[in-house]
Amino acid sequence: FHQSEQSQHRWTQKQPGRLKDKTIGIMGTGSIGEHIASTAKHFDMRVLGLSNSGKAKENFEKCFSVTELHRFLADCDYVVSTLPDTASTTGLLNAASFVAMKATAWLINIGRGNLIDETALLEAIHTNTIAGAVLDVFIEEPLPVSHPFWTAENIIVTPHISAPSFPEDVAQIFVDNYNRFVNKDPLQFQIDFAKGY
């Protein structure tokens, strides 16, 4: 199914394909990336990971270091980024990265907008270098009304809503960490300010 089918009121019964046996590459193997990996395995997907170290992680068939970015991208049908905004992630996905991807690949960015060279992404989609992108985060937010992402074919824009925090979830994490602190146990979800995440 394609957005243009709906906008033109066409009932076209094309087979959409399936996730089974597709390869999903997750940029960022932290808690969010691990959760996505675990979920993808339920769909019988092959799961690859990308991190600074490339260290093996549960639920990932193979993990690559950032220095192996293009090798990582080459195998992926879907690339999902959960990466933080750091100096080393800025512009990581650029024209050369899009060339390294499959022409049928989709990029999904739920991490931070600094990751993507937006001009290069528009060109990659316009020239069919990659199939499309689902973008939830942007360099400038809110996304300006004149931004070409709004009208570009095969780009789906969502307004930074992919991971809302609900009070009951945050409260439970706080209670758990408070109990850990009182018992002098290691805390969960600590930020390393030197790394930026």
Q: Which residues are designated catalytic?
A: 112, 160
Strand partners, 134: 108, 156
Cα–Cα distance, 46 to 23 (Å, whole number): 5
Radius of gyration of the chain (CA): 18
Residue pair 29/4 in contact by the 8 Å Cβ criterion: no
Distance, CA of 104 to CA of 115 (rounded, Å): 21
Residue 5 phi, psi dihedral angles, 5° rounding: -60, -45
The answer to whether the beta carbons of residues 136 and 162 sit under 8 Å apart is yes
Number of other residues whose CB lies within 10 A of the CB of residue 187: 10
Both structure tokens of 48: 């690859």
Q: Which residue type is seen at 78?
A: Y
